[in-house]
Structure 1
Amino acid sequence: MADQRTLAGGTVHDLPDDLAAALLGAPAARSTWEDITPLARNEWICWVTSPRKAETRTKRIAWGLESLSEGTRRPCCWPGCPHRLKGGG
């Protein structure tokens, strides 16, 4: 079984511990995660980590797992990570 060290992050953002733990507990979501591009993973990470409130972050992780489990490759209605151009990715 994969562990957090084997789950890839994004092009700019590292995979945060809470999202990694959630992915490890959701095999269907993890399967999509492993199949998407680093840029797509970056979008999910930035989308999950961007809210100010912990409550919103928790909701986004839950919604993200559900969406990834259904094969959704990018967060819906997200304009994209504002950091990727700054990071060169």
Structure 2
Amino acid sequence: MADVFLHGTVHEARDDLQAAIRSEPSVLLLWEGLTPLGRNEFICWVDDAKQSATRQRRIARTREELLEGKKRPCCWAGCIHRTDKAPSRWQQAVLIDRKSKTSPAS
């Protein structure tokens, strides 16, 4: 049972995030104390990184924020992949902004 890693409600943590969280018992304990939604937010935030360097910074920041007592990633609009609720206005604005940046110019 010690090898079971707790994931989020929608997302599963990849090996690199799992390794970083498991590398320090106090961080793992804090991770396990989060709600499934809290874990989901951290995983989504890390997975949203476009570049490997950004992903690694977010993994490091996840560990730091857990040690700071945070239950969700700082400055994150929230997971847009959840199907149990509609996206908030903030999330909708982010989605619209992303679409306009990736759409070809007319």
TM range (shorter): 0.7 to 0.9
| Partner Cα separation in structure 1 for residue 2 and residue 71 of structure 2 | 20
What is the aligned length?
Answer: 85
Which of 40, 46, 55 is the matching residue for 1:42? 40
TM-score (norm 1): 0.87
Which of 46, 54, 57 is the matching residue for 1:56? 54
Indicate conservation of the 8 Å contact 1:32/1:73, yes or no. Answer: no
Residue 2 (structure 1) aligns with? 2
Indicate conservation of the 8 Å contact 1:29/1:70, yes or no. Answer: no
User: Partner amino acid for 2:37?
Assistant: L
TM-score (norm 2): 0.74
Structure 1's consecutive aligned runs of 4 or more residues displaced over 2 angstroms after TM superposition are none
User: Partner amino acid for 1:2?
Assistant: A
Alignment of structure 1 residues 23-42 onto 2, 5 Å: 23-42=21-40
| Partner Cα separation in structure 1 for residue 73 and residue 25 of structure 2 | 18
RMSD across aligned positions (CA): 1.6
Residue 81 (structure 2) aligns with? 83
Q: Name stretches of at least 5 consecutive residues in structure 1 with no aligned partner.
A: none
Rg bigger for which structure? 2
Identity of aligned residues (%): 51
1:11-56 deviation line (CA, Å, top 9, x unaligned): 0001211100001102222111100100010000000110110000
Residue 19 (structure 1) aligns with? 17
User: Partner amino acid for 1:46?
Assistant: C
